[in-house]
Chain A
Amino acid sequence: MKALDISGLRKTYKGGTQALKGIDLEVEEGDFFALLGPNGAGKSTTIGVISSLVNKSSGDVKVFGHSIDQELVEAKSCIGLVPQEFNFNQFETLLQIVVNQAGYYGVPRPLAKERAEKYLKQLDLWEKRNEPARELSGGMKRRLMIARALMHEPKMLILDEPTAGVDIEIRRSMWTFLKEINKQGITIILTTHYLEEAEMLCRNIAIIDKGIIVENTSMKTLLSKLNKETFVLDLPIQSQPPALKEFEYRNIDDHTLEVDVNKDVGLNDVFRQLTDQGVTVLSMRNKANRLEELFVRMVESGRQQAGEA
């Protein structure tokens, strides 16, 4: 069963902005799916169309087989949405917000109250239940929106940058929570700018740029495209910069060396050559955000293809 099946989706906003230029996307039931892309790529627009906040210009969207044109009620009932921006009434209490949301989905009030306790507790907000939402911190507000989205127990949870502005500790606990509910069978789609987050959580990934899907594949396949890695070596201060044969390298300053290593070559030779030159390696790390480089490459090659076409 496909949790989400999008074909030929286009959206042109009133001002004339072409936010989506014909998108095809499939997400299997039970998947943990990442939608990645730079600012303005069309991620929120895509999510907006799926969740009825944005009118599409053309194309088809099916949620668990229900078309949003013909079976909107069924489609809506399957989706829980955590939007990018806070959109609850700041003056209502947490309890009011989540219980009302359940009510809109037809969940009777007594059951809604039970669920409110369950989800507010799971998201560590139960203590605050009678406070107005405006008194929450940014991270709490994000969690409140997750609790709200779960109140009707949807089959699919869509999160638009759920961890933006959330500290590392809470981000990790949110990851654990999302993994947990995914394990229980809820399909999850999230957008993020943190590639680490996508790598940690998601099995499949689509990269979108300027309203076009430039890559749609499994996380594994994507990572395997990284056949070259860059390492940063910290050295004691060198009077003469070390040199390496058969490697691409850069002496960044008098105590830092960067080396590009193909996956099938390995690092031993780098160390052997340095040892021969009497250079001690104090420490070594992966150059940060290798995924980010890949991401930029993908987006750029997508843009080139679009330019050629």
Chain B
Amino acid sequence: MASRNLTALRTIWIKECTRFLRIWVQTLVPPAITMSLYFIIFGSLIGKRIGEMGGFSYMEFIVPGLIMMSVITNSYANVSSSFFSAKFQRNVEELLVAPVPNWIIVLGFVGGGVARAILIGIIVTCVSLLFVDIQIYNLGIIIITLLLTSSLFATAGLINAVYAKTFDDISMVPTFVLTPLTYLGGVFYSLTLLPEFWQWVSKINPIVYMVNGFRYGFLGVSDVNYLVSIGLLVVFNVVLFTVAYQLINRGVGIRS
């Protein structure tokens, strides 16, 4: 029983990883290019004029945020497009007819998104090393924040794909929700630069906590307490995982 579930989980995970590695030009290269551009433009060109931020050079300040940004985008995109196309091509039926528990299905897809996010995280970190020396304040916090953030957005991508009826539906949330929240999430600036009201508003934005938690792991500075960040991530993960599980259980969008 347990070993059967484990085999099923591994199979879904391997299948998911094979998928994004097969189309690496679409999945792995673009974030490397985008982030290089950010590093060049904001870090090197404009950054010099900005000067220090939170006690660090601007380049050092934005690197953790930019890594986090690509982790968020890619974990979300991986699961939303993979699950949607499994639904669209109907190969999700391969899973539905098999005795795979639904929580394993969710875990397998999310695991695929996390794997891609980690790989991207490593790639972007390597790219950033061309521009700046990265310091590490606490590796444990970096890893925990990375895992929790990627699994959170992978799960969110899955939920999006469950509801999506067309390919457009899976680009709506990234365009209208994720991108604005990320840009306003303290990737490029410290919240302390904002007027008090906007600081307060920013703290409703969950991405602020992820970016700052992650930055704390690198630099040891943060606009919010890193424990709050991790706590929130855990809570959000539990909530979204439960929602995703319920949706698959009810067969929303996949079983008529």
- A interface residues with partner B (beta carbon < 8 Å): 13-14, 48, 51-55, 72-74, 76-77, 79, 81, 83, 85, 87-92, 96, 100-101, 103-109, 148, 152
User: Does A106 contact B7, Cβ atoms closer than 8 Å?
Assistant: yes
Given contacts A14-B256, A88-B91, A106-B3, contact A53 B96 (CB under 8 A): yes
Interface SS of chain A = loop
User: Does A54 contact B5, Cβ atoms closer than 8 Å?
Assistant: no
User: Does A106 contact B91, Cβ atoms closer than 8 Å?
Assistant: no
Q: How near does chain B come to A55, taking the closest CB pair, in angstroms?
A: 6
List chain B residues, Cβ under 8 A from A101.
94, 98
List chain A residues, Cβ under 8 A from B22.
91
Closest residue of chain B to A51, judged by CB?
B97
Cβ-neighbour of A104 out of B18, B85, B98 (below 8 A): B98
CA distance A77 to B4 in the complex (A): 11
CA distance A74 to B12 in the complex (A): 21
Give residues of chain B (75-104) contacting chain A, Cβ–Cβ below 8 Å.
85-86, 89-91, 93-100
User: Does A104 contact B256, Cβ atoms closer than 8 Å?
Assistant: no
Interface membership of B8, Cβ < 8 A: yes
- B interface residues with partner A (beta carbon < 8 Å): 3-5, 7-8, 10-12, 14-15, 18, 22, 85-86, 89-91, 93-100, 251, 255-256
User: Does A81 contact B7, Cβ atoms closer than 8 Å?
Assistant: no
List chain A residues, Cβ under 8 A from B100.
104
Q: How near does chain A come to B92, taking the closest CB pair, in angstroms?
A: 8
User: Does A107 contact B256, Cβ atoms closer than 8 Å?
Assistant: no
Cβ-neighbour of B256 out of A13, A76, A106, A152 (below 8 A): A13
Q: How near does chain A come to B213, taking the closest CB pair, in angstroms?
A: 35
Closest residue of chain B to A108, judged by CB?
B7
Q: Which of B95, B96, B255: most chain A CB closer than 10 A?
A: B96
Given contacts A55-B251, A89-B89, A107-B7, contact A100 B97 (CB under 8 A): no
19 pairs of residues in contact across A and B, judged by CB atoms under 8 Å = A52-B97, A53-B93, A53-B255, A87-B89, A87-B91, A87-B93, A88-B91, A88-B94, A89-B85, A89-B89, A91-B22, A96-B15, A100-B14, A103-B8, A104-B8, A105-B8, A105-B98, A106-B8, A108-B7
List chain B residues, Cβ under 8 A from A55.
251, 255-256
CA distance A95 to B34 in the complex (A): 35
User: Does B95 contact A54, Cβ atoms closer than 8 Å?
Assistant: no
Q: How near does chain A come to B106, taking the closest CB pair, in angstroms?
A: 14
Closest residue of chain A to B18, judged by CB?
A96
CA distance A85 to B90 in the complex (A): 9
Q: How near does chain B come to A136, taking the closest CB pair, in angstroms?
A: 15
List chain B residues, Cβ under 8 A from A48.
256
User: Does A87 contact B255, Cβ atoms closer than 8 Å?
Assistant: no
Given contacts A90-B89, A106-B4, contact A79 B97 (CB under 8 A): yes
Q: How near does chain A come to B166, taking the closest CB pair, in angstroms?
A: 18
CA distance A298 to B55 in the complex (A): 86
User: Does A89 contact B91, Cβ atoms closer than 8 Å?
Assistant: yes
List chain A residues, Cβ under 8 A from B98.
76, 101, 104-105, 152
Q: How near does chain A come to B152, taking the closest CB pair, in angstroms?
A: 26
Closest residue of chain A to B85, judged by CB?
A89
Q: How near does chain B come to A271, taking the closest CB pair, in angstroms?
A: 56
CA distance A101 to B3 in the complex (A): 16
Closest residue of chain B to A15, judged by CB?
B256
User: Does A106 contact B96, Cβ atoms closer than 8 Å?
Assistant: no
List chain B residues, Cβ under 8 A from A85.
90
User: Does B97 contact A81, Cβ atoms closer than 8 Å?
Assistant: yes
Closest residue of chain A to B92, judged by CB?
A87
Cβ-neighbour of A87 out of B3, B12, B15, B94 (below 8 A): B94
User: Does B15 contact A100, Cβ atoms closer than 8 Å?
Assistant: yes
CA distance A106 to B104 in the complex (A): 12
10 tightest Cβ-Cβ pairs between the two chains A and B: A103-B11, A106-B4, A104-B98, A87-B90, A73-B99, A76-B99, A89-B91, A106-B7, A87-B93, A51-B97
